[in-house]
Amino acid sequence: MDLSRENTTLHFLERIDSFVFNRVSGFPGDGNCSFLDEHHLLREFLYLDTFRDQLRAFLHSYDLPTPLCDDDKAWFSFVSAYAGVIEDGALSSGKADNLKAIEEVTFMKR
């Protein structure tokens, strides 16, 4: 599944683009990506914290139970299964001209 809706993917892609532009060899960078920014981005990749919070809010808004989002063991089991669903999928932006170093992000499960 590929996602390219600007309102849902652009902010995430901009954060990745900033990291690559500022920290990966071969890009000039301007030092805008702090250690704390890197830490938050790593958490997003590994634990999907924002997705977890948004899913919890969605479930709560429909008065559905949220143990999937509240319990770490349940969440990590879900993330493992979810990785199989999104593997080989890509996030891209229709506004690629705003991005300096990347065009899209592809997820692969190893």
Question: 3-state SS string over the chain?
Answer: CCECCHHHHHHHHHHHHHHHHHHCCCCCCCCCCCHHHHHHHHHHHHHCHHHHHHHHHHHHHCCCCCHHHHCHHHHHHHHHHHHHHHCCCEEECCCHHHCCCCCEEECCCC
In a domain, 11, yes or no: yes
Question: Which pLDDT score is estimated for 9?
Answer: 72
| pTM of the predicted structure, to 2 decimals | 0.65
Provide the pLDDT confidence category of residue 33 given band limits of 50, 70 and 90. Answer: low
Number of domains in the chain: 1
Please give the average per-residue pLDDT across 10-15, as a whole number: 79
Question: Which pLDDT score is estimated for 101?
Answer: 81
Expressed as residue numbers, the domain containing 68 is: 6-106
Tell me what the pLDDT averaged over the chain comes to: 79
The percent of residues in the chain predicted with pLDDT above 70, rounded, is 78
Contact 81, 87 (CB under 8 A): no
Residue 3 has pLDDT above 50, yes or no: no
In a domain, 18, yes or no: yes
In a domain, 1, yes or no: no
In a domain, 78, yes or no: yes
Residue 42 has pLDDT above 70, yes or no: yes
Question: Which pLDDT score is estimated for 2?
Answer: 45
In a domain, 64, yes or no: yes
In a domain, 81, yes or no: yes
In a domain, 85, yes or no: yes
